[in-house]
Amino acid sequence: MTPALELDCRDLPCPRPIIELARHLADVGVGQVLAVVAHDPAARYDVPAWCRMRDQEYVGQDTADDGAPRFLVRRRS
């Protein structure tokens, strides 16, 4: 899957990847996917939880080109 926007949060500690996700969600259109690339171990739990709280779709997890964890969010509204 090719996201419309990929956020490089590899070196950001918790909760910064979620803060960046919230800041940049409006940068993609409704129905588009935003990716958060983060080494923060909490991101695997925080991104899906944030999606549930904000009524956005958590698409899942895959890996960036360098093997870093990448979390995919589809903007619903």
Distance, in Å, from the CA atom of 30 to the CA atom of 24, rounded to the nearest integer, reads 13
pLDDT at 40: 97
Sheet of 33-37, strands arranged across? 5-8, 33-37, 69-74, 57-63
User: Could you say which of 5, 14, 28, 33 is catalytic?
Assistant: 14
- Contacts of residue 37, defined as CB under 8 A and 6 or more positions apart, other chains included, come to 6, 7, 8, 9, 10, 64, 68, 69, 70, 71
Q: Are 4 and 29 in contact (CB under 8 A)?
A: yes
> Model's pTM, two decimal places?
0.95
For 4-62, how does the pLDDT look when each residue is reduced to its tens digit (9 = 90+)? Answer: 999 999 999 999 999 999 999 999 999 999 999 999 999 999 999 999 999 999 999 99
pLDDT at 1: 79
Domain boundaries, the chain: 8-32+56-77
Active-site residue flag, 51: no
